[in-house]
Structure 1
Amino acid sequence: MKFAVLVFPGSNCDIDCYKAVEEAIGQKVEYVWHTSTDLSGYDAILVPGGFSYGDYLRCGAISRFAPVMNEVKKAAEEGKFILGICNGFQILTEAGLLPGALIRNSGLKFRCHQTPLEVVNNGNPFTNQYAEGDIINIPIAHGEGNYYCDDATLAQLEANKQIIFRYAGDTNPNGSVSNIAGVSNERGNVVGMMPHPERAINQLFGSEDGKKMFTSILNAWREQHGAAVNS
Protein backbone atom coordinates (compact mmCIF):
# COMPACT_ATOMS: atom_id res chain seq x y z
CA MET A 1 0.00 0.00 0.00
CA LYS A 2 1.22 3.50 -0.78
CA PHE A 3 0.36 6.67 1.16
CA ALA A 4 0.60 10.31 0.14
CA VAL A 5 1.04 12.99 2.78
CA LEU A 6 0.04 16.35 1.33
CA VAL A 7 2.19 19.36 2.18
CA PHE A 8 0.85 22.93 2.02
CA PRO A 9 2.76 26.10 2.96
CA GLY A 10 2.25 26.15 6.72
CA SER A 11 1.63 22.43 7.23
CA ASN A 12 3.32 21.31 10.45
CA CYS A 13 2.01 17.78 11.05
CA ASP A 14 3.13 16.31 7.74
CA ILE A 15 6.22 14.74 9.31
CA ASP A 16 4.09 13.30 12.13
CA CYS A 17 1.80 11.64 9.56
CA TYR A 18 4.73 10.31 7.54
CA LYS A 19 6.37 8.80 10.63
CA ALA A 20 3.05 7.36 11.83
CA VAL A 21 2.62 5.39 8.60
CA GLU A 22 6.20 4.10 8.88
CA GLU A 23 5.92 3.10 12.53
CA ALA A 24 2.33 1.89 12.72
CA ILE A 25 2.11 -0.17 9.53
CA GLY A 26 5.45 -0.01 7.72
CA GLN A 27 3.97 0.92 4.35
CA LYS A 28 5.33 3.14 1.59
CA VAL A 29 4.74 6.85 2.14
CA GLU A 30 5.74 10.01 0.28
CA TYR A 31 5.32 13.73 0.73
CA VAL A 32 3.29 15.39 -2.03
CA TRP A 33 3.55 19.16 -2.56
CA HIS A 34 0.35 21.19 -2.90
CA THR A 35 1.08 22.00 -6.55
CA SER A 36 0.99 18.34 -7.59
CA THR A 37 -1.49 17.36 -10.30
CA ASP A 38 -1.24 13.58 -10.05
CA LEU A 39 -2.21 11.33 -7.13
CA SER A 40 -2.91 8.26 -9.26
CA GLY A 41 -0.03 6.30 -7.75
CA TYR A 42 -1.38 6.39 -4.18
CA ASP A 43 -3.90 4.23 -2.34
CA ALA A 44 -4.48 6.57 0.60
CA ILE A 45 -4.09 10.32 1.05
CA LEU A 46 -3.41 12.04 4.36
CA VAL A 47 -4.24 15.74 4.66
CA PRO A 48 -2.27 16.81 7.74
CA GLY A 49 -2.71 19.44 10.40
CA GLY A 50 -1.01 22.79 10.67
CA PHE A 51 -1.76 26.31 9.54
CA SER A 52 -1.95 26.02 5.75
CA TYR A 53 -1.43 29.41 4.12
CA GLY A 54 -1.33 30.90 7.60
CA ASP A 55 -5.07 30.19 8.12
CA TYR A 56 -5.82 33.49 6.38
CA LEU A 57 -9.50 34.13 5.52
CA ARG A 58 -10.61 30.89 7.21
CA CYS A 59 -8.79 27.70 8.09
CA GLY A 60 -8.45 25.72 4.87
CA ALA A 61 -10.18 28.38 2.75
CA ILE A 62 -7.13 28.98 0.55
CA SER A 63 -5.81 25.41 0.52
CA ARG A 64 -9.03 24.11 -1.01
CA PHE A 65 -7.99 25.93 -4.23
CA ALA A 66 -4.55 24.30 -4.41
CA PRO A 67 -3.99 22.22 -7.58
CA VAL A 68 -3.62 19.01 -5.59
CA MET A 69 -7.18 19.33 -4.26
CA ASN A 70 -8.59 18.62 -7.71
CA GLU A 71 -6.71 15.32 -7.54
CA VAL A 72 -7.98 14.67 -4.00
CA LYS A 73 -11.55 15.04 -5.31
CA LYS A 74 -10.82 12.58 -8.10
CA ALA A 75 -9.31 10.14 -5.61
CA ALA A 76 -12.40 10.42 -3.41
CA GLU A 77 -14.63 9.67 -6.38
CA GLU A 78 -12.49 6.63 -7.16
CA GLY A 79 -13.03 5.32 -3.62
CA LYS A 80 -9.50 5.84 -2.36
CA PHE A 81 -9.02 6.40 1.37
CA ILE A 82 -8.65 10.04 2.41
CA LEU A 83 -8.05 11.16 5.99
CA GLY A 84 -8.02 14.83 6.98
CA ILE A 85 -6.64 15.61 10.43
CA CYS A 86 -7.23 18.94 12.19
CA ASN A 87 -6.38 21.54 9.50
CA GLY A 88 -6.83 18.69 7.03
CA PHE A 89 -10.40 18.26 8.30
CA GLN A 90 -10.95 21.98 7.80
CA ILE A 91 -9.60 21.76 4.24
CA LEU A 92 -11.88 18.84 3.37
CA THR A 93 -14.98 20.69 4.60
CA GLU A 94 -13.95 23.83 2.69
CA ALA A 95 -13.50 21.68 -0.43
CA GLY A 96 -16.97 20.19 -0.04
CA LEU A 97 -15.65 16.68 0.46
CA LEU A 98 -17.17 16.53 3.93
CA PRO A 99 -20.32 18.14 5.32
CA GLY A 100 -20.37 20.90 7.93
CA ALA A 101 -17.81 23.51 8.93
CA LEU A 102 -15.20 24.15 11.63
CA ILE A 103 -15.51 27.42 13.54
CA ARG A 104 -13.80 29.04 16.52
CA ASN A 105 -13.74 27.04 19.76
CA SER A 106 -16.61 28.06 21.99
CA GLY A 107 -14.15 29.21 24.68
CA LEU A 108 -12.15 31.22 22.08
CA LYS A 109 -8.94 29.57 23.28
CA PHE A 110 -6.50 27.21 21.62
CA ARG A 111 -6.89 23.76 23.21
CA CYS A 112 -3.95 21.36 23.34
CA HIS A 113 -4.26 18.21 25.49
CA GLN A 114 -5.22 14.55 25.50
CA THR A 115 -8.92 13.97 24.92
CA PRO A 116 -11.07 10.84 25.29
CA LEU A 117 -13.00 9.92 22.15
CA GLU A 118 -15.85 7.47 21.69
CA VAL A 119 -15.72 5.28 18.57
CA VAL A 120 -19.25 5.75 17.23
CA ASN A 121 -18.92 3.82 13.99
CA ASN A 122 -16.43 0.99 13.59
CA GLY A 123 -17.89 -0.19 10.29
CA ASN A 124 -15.59 2.18 8.44
CA PRO A 125 -12.24 1.74 6.65
CA PHE A 126 -10.60 3.97 9.25
CA THR A 127 -12.02 2.35 12.40
CA ASN A 128 -12.51 -1.36 11.65
CA GLN A 129 -9.87 -2.40 14.19
CA TYR A 130 -11.75 -0.72 17.06
CA ALA A 131 -14.92 -1.91 18.77
CA GLU A 132 -17.99 0.28 18.65
CA GLY A 133 -18.15 2.25 21.90
CA ASP A 134 -14.41 2.04 22.55
CA ILE A 135 -13.06 5.04 24.47
CA ILE A 136 -9.67 6.01 23.08
CA ASN A 137 -7.21 8.68 24.19
CA ILE A 138 -6.17 11.00 21.34
CA PRO A 139 -4.57 14.48 21.62
CA ILE A 140 -6.10 17.65 20.23
CA ALA A 141 -4.39 20.92 19.23
CA HIS A 142 -6.73 23.46 17.67
CA GLY A 143 -8.33 26.88 17.99
CA GLU A 144 -11.03 26.35 15.37
CA GLY A 145 -12.28 22.84 15.98
CA ASN A 146 -15.90 23.59 16.80
CA TYR A 147 -17.81 21.38 14.34
CA TYR A 148 -21.04 22.95 13.13
CA CYS A 149 -23.81 21.79 10.85
CA ASP A 150 -27.52 22.58 10.62
CA ASP A 151 -30.23 20.31 12.02
CA ALA A 152 -31.01 18.71 8.66
CA THR A 153 -27.36 17.83 8.06
CA LEU A 154 -27.01 16.45 11.59
CA ALA A 155 -30.05 14.22 11.04
CA GLN A 156 -28.50 12.99 7.81
CA LEU A 157 -25.18 12.28 9.52
CA GLU A 158 -26.98 10.26 12.18
CA ALA A 159 -29.11 8.34 9.69
CA ASN A 160 -26.16 7.47 7.44
CA LYS A 161 -23.83 6.62 10.34
CA GLN A 162 -21.41 9.30 9.19
CA ILE A 163 -20.46 10.32 12.73
CA ILE A 164 -17.24 8.41 13.34
CA PHE A 165 -15.99 9.88 16.64
CA ARG A 166 -17.52 11.88 19.46
CA TYR A 167 -15.84 13.54 22.42
CA ALA A 168 -16.61 11.11 25.24
CA GLY A 169 -18.91 12.02 28.09
CA ASP A 170 -18.80 15.68 29.05
CA THR A 171 -15.29 16.32 27.67
CA ASN A 172 -16.30 18.35 24.57
CA PRO A 173 -13.37 20.83 24.36
CA ASN A 174 -14.66 23.18 21.68
CA GLY A 175 -18.47 23.30 21.57
CA SER A 176 -18.93 20.95 18.61
CA VAL A 177 -22.55 20.14 17.85
CA SER A 178 -23.57 16.74 19.25
CA ASN A 179 -19.99 16.34 20.61
CA ILE A 180 -18.80 15.46 17.10
CA ALA A 181 -15.04 14.93 16.73
CA GLY A 182 -14.96 13.22 13.33
CA VAL A 183 -17.25 12.54 10.38
CA SER A 184 -17.19 10.76 7.02
CA ASN A 185 -18.72 11.27 3.62
CA GLU A 186 -21.71 9.10 2.70
CA ARG A 187 -19.50 6.53 0.98
CA GLY A 188 -17.26 6.26 4.04
CA ASN A 189 -13.91 6.55 2.24
CA VAL A 190 -13.29 10.17 3.29
CA VAL A 191 -12.95 10.96 7.00
CA GLY A 192 -12.09 14.16 8.81
CA MET A 193 -11.32 14.54 12.50
CA MET A 194 -9.95 17.27 14.75
CA PRO A 195 -7.95 15.03 17.15
CA HIS A 196 -4.51 13.82 16.04
CA PRO A 197 -4.22 9.99 15.79
CA GLU A 198 -0.73 10.35 14.27
CA ARG A 199 0.40 11.72 17.65
CA ALA A 200 -0.90 8.63 19.45
CA ILE A 201 1.17 5.89 17.86
CA ASN A 202 3.54 5.08 20.70
CA GLN A 203 2.94 4.92 24.43
CA LEU A 204 6.04 7.09 24.87
CA PHE A 205 3.88 9.97 23.60
CA GLY A 206 1.13 9.25 26.14
CA SER A 207 -1.09 6.98 24.06
CA GLU A 208 -0.93 4.46 21.23
CA ASP A 209 -4.69 4.49 20.67
CA GLY A 210 -4.30 6.16 17.27
CA LYS A 211 -2.32 3.25 15.86
CA LYS A 212 -5.47 1.25 15.06
CA MET A 213 -6.62 3.95 12.65
CA PHE A 214 -3.62 3.18 10.46
CA THR A 215 -3.95 -0.58 10.82
CA SER A 216 -7.65 -0.17 9.97
CA ILE A 217 -6.80 1.58 6.70
CA LEU A 218 -4.30 -1.13 5.80
CA ASN A 219 -6.81 -3.84 6.72
CA ALA A 220 -9.50 -2.26 4.54
CA TRP A 221 -7.10 -1.96 1.60
CA ARG A 222 -5.91 -5.55 1.95
CA GLU A 223 -9.48 -6.81 2.13
CA GLN A 224 -10.18 -4.98 -1.13
CA HIS A 225 -7.19 -6.79 -2.61
CA GLY A 226 -8.03 -10.20 -1.16
CA ALA A 227 -5.58 -10.42 1.74
CA ALA A 228 -6.45 -9.74 5.38
CA VAL A 229 -4.07 -8.13 7.83
CA ASN A 230 -2.14 -10.57 9.99
CA SER A 231 -2.95 -9.63 13.58
Structure 2
Amino acid sequence: MTVRIGVITFPGSLDDRDAQRAVRVAGAEPVALWHGSHDLDGVDALVLPGGFSYGDYLRSGAIAALSPIMAEVKDAAAKGMPVLGICNGFQMLVEAHLLPGGLIRNDHQHFVRRDQKLIVTNNTTAWTSDFEDGQEIVIPLKNGEGGYIASDDTLDRLEGEGLVAFRYAGVNPNGSLRDIAGLTNAAGNVVGLMPHPEHAIEPGFGPDTAAAMRSGVDGLGFFTSAISTLAAVAA
Protein backbone atom coordinates (compact mmCIF):
# COMPACT_ATOMS: atom_id res chain seq x y z
CA MET A 1 0.00 0.00 0.00
CA THR A 2 1.33 3.42 -0.99
CA VAL A 3 0.14 6.03 1.48
CA ARG A 4 -0.56 9.41 -0.12
CA ILE A 5 -0.44 12.44 2.18
CA GLY A 6 -1.64 15.78 0.90
CA VAL A 7 0.06 19.02 1.90
CA ILE A 8 -2.08 22.11 1.32
CA THR A 9 -0.43 25.32 0.13
CA PHE A 10 -2.09 28.59 1.14
CA PRO A 11 -0.96 32.10 0.10
CA GLY A 12 1.85 32.76 2.57
CA SER A 13 2.68 29.12 3.35
CA LEU A 14 6.40 28.75 4.06
CA ASP A 15 6.87 25.17 5.15
CA ASP A 16 4.78 23.29 2.61
CA ARG A 17 7.81 21.99 0.70
CA ASP A 18 9.45 20.95 3.98
CA ALA A 19 6.30 19.04 4.94
CA GLN A 20 6.24 17.34 1.54
CA ARG A 21 9.86 16.28 2.03
CA ALA A 22 9.08 14.94 5.50
CA VAL A 23 6.27 12.84 4.04
CA ARG A 24 8.65 11.46 1.40
CA VAL A 25 11.46 10.72 3.87
CA ALA A 26 8.97 8.90 6.11
CA GLY A 27 8.05 6.61 3.22
CA ALA A 28 4.79 8.02 1.88
CA GLU A 29 3.93 9.88 -1.32
CA PRO A 30 3.47 13.64 -0.85
CA VAL A 31 0.68 15.25 -2.86
CA ALA A 32 0.65 19.02 -3.34
CA LEU A 33 -2.83 20.52 -2.88
CA TRP A 34 -3.99 24.11 -3.47
CA HIS A 35 -6.12 26.11 -1.06
CA GLY A 36 -8.48 27.28 -3.80
CA SER A 37 -9.41 23.77 -4.91
CA HIS A 38 -12.21 21.52 -3.72
CA ASP A 39 -10.29 18.38 -4.77
CA LEU A 40 -8.31 16.37 -2.21
CA ASP A 41 -6.99 14.16 -5.02
CA GLY A 42 -7.79 10.93 -3.21
CA VAL A 43 -5.19 11.39 -0.46
CA ASP A 44 -5.17 9.28 2.70
CA ALA A 45 -4.12 12.05 5.13
CA LEU A 46 -3.62 15.80 5.18
CA VAL A 47 -1.06 18.28 6.48
CA LEU A 48 -1.80 21.99 6.99
CA PRO A 49 1.71 23.48 7.01
CA GLY A 50 3.36 26.38 8.77
CA GLY A 51 3.76 29.90 7.47
CA PHE A 52 1.86 33.16 7.47
CA SER A 53 -1.28 32.41 5.47
CA TYR A 54 -2.83 35.56 4.04
CA GLY A 55 -0.19 37.58 5.87
CA ASP A 56 -1.72 36.68 9.25
CA TYR A 57 -4.28 39.43 8.67
CA LEU A 58 -7.36 39.47 10.92
CA ARG A 59 -6.04 36.60 13.09
CA SER A 60 -3.45 33.98 12.25
CA GLY A 61 -5.18 31.20 10.32
CA ALA A 62 -8.60 32.91 10.35
CA ILE A 63 -8.79 33.69 6.63
CA ALA A 64 -7.19 30.38 5.63
CA ALA A 65 -9.85 28.57 7.67
CA LEU A 66 -12.39 29.94 5.16
CA SER A 67 -10.45 28.82 2.06
CA PRO A 68 -12.43 26.63 -0.36
CA ILE A 69 -10.45 23.47 0.40
CA MET A 70 -11.22 23.73 4.11
CA ALA A 71 -14.77 22.55 3.45
CA GLU A 72 -13.24 19.31 2.19
CA VAL A 73 -10.78 19.19 5.09
CA LYS A 74 -13.63 19.45 7.60
CA ASP A 75 -15.61 16.75 5.82
CA ALA A 76 -12.60 14.43 5.58
CA ALA A 77 -11.73 14.99 9.25
CA ALA A 78 -15.31 14.18 10.26
CA LYS A 79 -14.98 10.89 8.37
CA GLY A 80 -11.77 10.00 10.23
CA MET A 81 -9.01 11.08 7.85
CA PRO A 82 -5.77 11.93 9.71
CA VAL A 83 -5.18 15.70 9.64
CA LEU A 84 -2.07 17.39 11.06
CA GLY A 85 -1.87 21.16 11.58
CA ILE A 86 1.63 22.55 12.14
CA CYS A 87 2.04 26.06 13.61
CA ASN A 88 -0.05 28.17 11.19
CA GLY A 89 -1.88 24.93 10.40
CA PHE A 90 -2.70 24.55 14.11
CA GLN A 91 -4.04 28.09 14.03
CA MET A 92 -6.22 27.12 11.06
CA LEU A 93 -7.57 24.10 12.91
CA VAL A 94 -8.71 26.15 15.89
CA GLU A 95 -10.14 28.87 13.64
CA ALA A 96 -12.05 26.18 11.71
CA HIS A 97 -13.30 24.73 15.05
CA LEU A 98 -11.71 21.37 14.36
CA LEU A 99 -9.85 21.87 17.64
CA PRO A 100 -10.97 24.06 20.58
CA GLY A 101 -9.48 27.24 21.98
CA GLY A 102 -7.37 29.89 20.29
CA LEU A 103 -3.82 31.08 19.67
CA ILE A 104 -2.71 34.60 20.47
CA ARG A 105 0.40 36.78 20.49
CA ASN A 106 3.27 35.35 22.54
CA ASP A 107 3.16 36.72 26.08
CA HIS A 108 6.61 38.31 25.70
CA GLN A 109 5.48 40.02 22.46
CA HIS A 110 8.42 38.68 20.47
CA PHE A 111 8.82 36.11 17.71
CA VAL A 112 10.53 33.04 19.18
CA ARG A 113 12.77 30.54 17.39
CA ARG A 114 14.35 27.68 19.35
CA ASP A 115 14.75 23.93 19.57
CA GLN A 116 11.94 23.09 21.96
CA LYS A 117 11.57 20.16 24.33
CA LEU A 118 8.11 18.56 24.33
CA ILE A 119 6.49 15.80 26.35
CA VAL A 120 4.23 13.44 24.42
CA THR A 121 1.13 13.23 26.60
CA ASN A 122 -1.09 11.26 24.22
CA ASN A 123 0.47 8.58 22.03
CA THR A 124 -2.83 7.07 20.87
CA THR A 125 -3.48 9.48 17.99
CA ALA A 126 -2.91 8.91 14.28
CA TRP A 127 0.12 11.20 14.44
CA THR A 128 1.73 10.08 17.73
CA SER A 129 1.43 6.28 17.82
CA ASP A 130 5.15 5.75 17.15
CA PHE A 131 6.07 7.63 20.34
CA GLU A 132 6.07 6.38 23.92
CA ASP A 133 3.66 7.92 26.40
CA GLY A 134 5.61 10.55 28.34
CA GLN A 135 8.48 10.54 25.84
CA GLU A 136 10.56 13.71 25.66
CA ILE A 137 11.27 14.89 22.13
CA VAL A 138 12.96 17.98 20.69
CA ILE A 139 11.31 19.82 17.81
CA PRO A 140 12.14 23.24 16.30
CA LEU A 141 9.72 26.02 17.24
CA LYS A 142 9.20 29.35 15.45
CA ASN A 143 6.16 31.54 16.06
CA GLY A 144 4.95 34.96 17.04
CA GLU A 145 1.37 34.02 17.88
CA GLY A 146 1.70 30.67 19.60
CA GLY A 147 0.11 31.33 22.98
CA TYR A 148 -2.64 28.75 23.48
CA ILE A 149 -5.73 29.99 25.31
CA ALA A 150 -9.08 28.51 26.27
CA SER A 151 -11.63 28.90 29.05
CA ASP A 152 -11.00 27.12 32.33
CA ASP A 153 -13.88 24.76 31.57
CA THR A 154 -12.40 23.90 28.19
CA LEU A 155 -8.93 23.42 29.68
CA ASP A 156 -10.34 21.13 32.36
CA ARG A 157 -12.19 19.13 29.70
CA LEU A 158 -9.07 18.80 27.55
CA GLU A 159 -7.12 17.58 30.56
CA GLY A 160 -9.85 15.22 31.74
CA GLU A 161 -10.42 13.66 28.33
CA GLY A 162 -6.72 13.25 27.52
CA LEU A 163 -6.86 15.62 24.55
CA VAL A 164 -3.62 17.43 25.35
CA ALA A 165 -1.21 15.76 22.94
CA PHE A 166 1.98 17.66 23.83
CA ARG A 167 3.24 19.92 26.60
CA TYR A 168 6.21 22.26 26.59
CA ALA A 169 9.07 21.02 28.78
CA GLY A 170 11.92 22.98 30.29
CA VAL A 171 10.49 26.35 29.29
CA ASN A 172 7.13 27.64 28.13
CA PRO A 173 8.17 29.68 25.07
CA ASN A 174 4.99 31.66 24.45
CA GLY A 175 2.79 31.71 27.53
CA SER A 176 0.48 28.88 26.46
CA LEU A 177 -1.94 28.03 29.25
CA ARG A 178 -1.02 24.87 31.17
CA ASP A 179 2.06 24.49 28.95
CA ILE A 180 -0.08 23.14 26.10
CA ALA A 181 1.94 22.72 22.90
CA GLY A 182 -0.51 20.60 20.93
CA LEU A 183 -3.95 19.02 20.97
CA THR A 184 -5.90 16.14 19.51
CA ASN A 185 -9.59 15.76 18.87
CA ALA A 186 -11.53 13.02 20.66
CA ALA A 187 -11.26 10.66 17.68
CA GLY A 188 -7.48 11.04 17.58
CA ASN A 189 -7.30 11.75 13.86
CA VAL A 190 -6.91 15.55 14.05
CA VAL A 191 -3.76 16.85 15.75
CA GLY A 192 -2.38 20.38 15.93
CA LEU A 193 0.83 21.69 17.45
CA MET A 194 2.94 24.84 17.31
CA PRO A 195 6.45 23.30 16.92
CA HIS A 196 7.60 22.07 13.51
CA PRO A 197 8.25 18.30 13.23
CA GLU A 198 9.03 18.63 9.51
CA HIS A 199 12.28 20.39 10.48
CA ALA A 200 13.55 17.40 12.46
CA ILE A 201 13.43 14.48 10.05
CA GLU A 202 16.98 14.11 8.68
CA PRO A 203 20.39 13.82 10.38
CA GLY A 204 22.44 16.93 9.67
CA PHE A 205 19.42 19.22 9.53
CA GLY A 206 17.62 18.77 12.86
CA PRO A 207 18.17 19.95 16.43
CA ASP A 208 21.43 19.26 18.25
CA THR A 209 21.55 16.10 20.35
CA ALA A 210 24.04 14.60 22.79
CA ALA A 211 25.21 12.36 19.95
CA ALA A 212 26.03 15.08 17.42
CA MET A 213 25.16 18.54 16.21
CA ARG A 214 22.03 18.81 14.06
CA SER A 215 21.32 15.09 14.43
CA GLY A 216 17.81 15.23 15.93
CA VAL A 217 15.10 13.39 13.99
CA ASP A 218 12.27 13.31 16.53
CA GLY A 219 9.90 14.89 14.02
CA LEU A 220 9.97 11.85 11.77
CA GLY A 221 7.77 9.95 14.22
CA PHE A 222 4.78 12.14 13.38
CA PHE A 223 4.79 11.06 9.76
CA THR A 224 5.67 7.41 10.33
CA SER A 225 2.84 7.30 12.90
CA ALA A 226 0.34 8.38 10.26
CA ILE A 227 1.69 5.83 7.78
CA SER A 228 1.49 3.05 10.38
CA THR A 229 -2.04 4.08 11.37
CA LEU A 230 -3.27 4.06 7.79
CA ALA A 231 -1.56 0.75 7.05
CA ALA A 232 -3.22 -0.82 10.08
CA VAL A 233 -6.64 0.40 8.93
CA ALA A 234 -6.04 -1.00 5.44
CA ALA A 235 -4.86 -4.39 6.70
TM range (shorter): over 0.9
Who is 2:198 aligned against? 198
Question: Are positions 1:83 and 2:84 aligned together?
Answer: yes
Who is 1:187 aligned against? 187
Gaps of 5+ in 1: 227-231
Q: Deviations over 1:186-209 (max 9, x none)?
A: 111101000000000012122200
Question: Are positions 1:93 and 2:102 aligned together?
Answer: no
Who is 2:21 aligned against? 19
Gaps of 5+ in 2: 208-215
User: CA–CA distance in 1 between the matches of 2:24 and 2:74?
Assistant: 25
User: CA–CA distance in 2 between the matches of 1:24 and 1:30?
Assistant: 14
Question: Are positions 1:121 and 2:122 aligned together?
Answer: yes
User: CA–CA distance in 1 between the matches of 2:119 and 2:234?
Assistant: 29
Shift of the alpha carbon at 1:164? 0.4
TM-score (norm 1): 0.95
Letter of the 2:191 counterpart = V
**Does the C-alpha gap of structure 1 residues 148 and 221 become closer, same or farther in structure 2, counting only changes over 3 Å?**
same
**Is the deviation greater in 210-219 or in 37-46?**
37-46
Residues 39 and 75 in structure 1, CA contact (< 8 A), matched pair in contact too: no
User: CA–CA distance in 2 between the matches of 1:159 and 1:124?
Assistant: 16
Q: Deviations over 1:149-188 (max 9, x none)?
A: 111111111121110000014x110000110000011111
Alignment RMSD (CA, Å)? 0.9
Q: How many residues align?
A: 224
Shift of the alpha carbon at 1:28? 1.3
Residues 31 and 43 in structure 2, CA contact (< 8 A), matched pair in contact too: no
Question: Are positions 1:220 and 2:229 aligned together?
Answer: yes
Q: Deviations over 1:70-111 (max 9, x none)?
A: 000010011000000000000110011110100000100000
Runs (4 or more) in structure 1 with deviation over 4 Å come to: none
User: CA–CA distance in 2 between the matches of 1:65 and 1:133?
Assistant: 35
Letter of the 1:17 counterpart = A
Q: Residues 1-231 of structure 1 correspond to what in structure 2 (within 5 A)?
A: 1-25=3-27, 27-39=28-40, 41-169=42-170, 171-205=171-205, 206=207, 207-226=216-235
Letter of the 2:26 counterpart = A
Residues 126 and 217 in structure 1, CA contact (< 8 A), matched pair in contact too: yes
User: CA–CA distance in 2 between the matches of 1:187 and 1:146?
Assistant: 24
User: CA–CA distance in 1 between the matches of 2:89 and 2:128?
Assistant: 18
What's the secondary structure of 2:51's corresponding residue? coil
Shift of the alpha carbon at 1:40? 5.7
What's the secondary structure of 1:203's corresponding residue? coil
Q: Percent identity?
A: 49
Letter of the 1:174 counterpart = N
**Does the C-alpha gap of structure 1 residues 40 and 158 become closer, same or farther in structure 2, counting only changes over 3 Å?**
farther
User: CA–CA distance in 2 between the matches of 1:174 and 1:203?
Assistant: 27
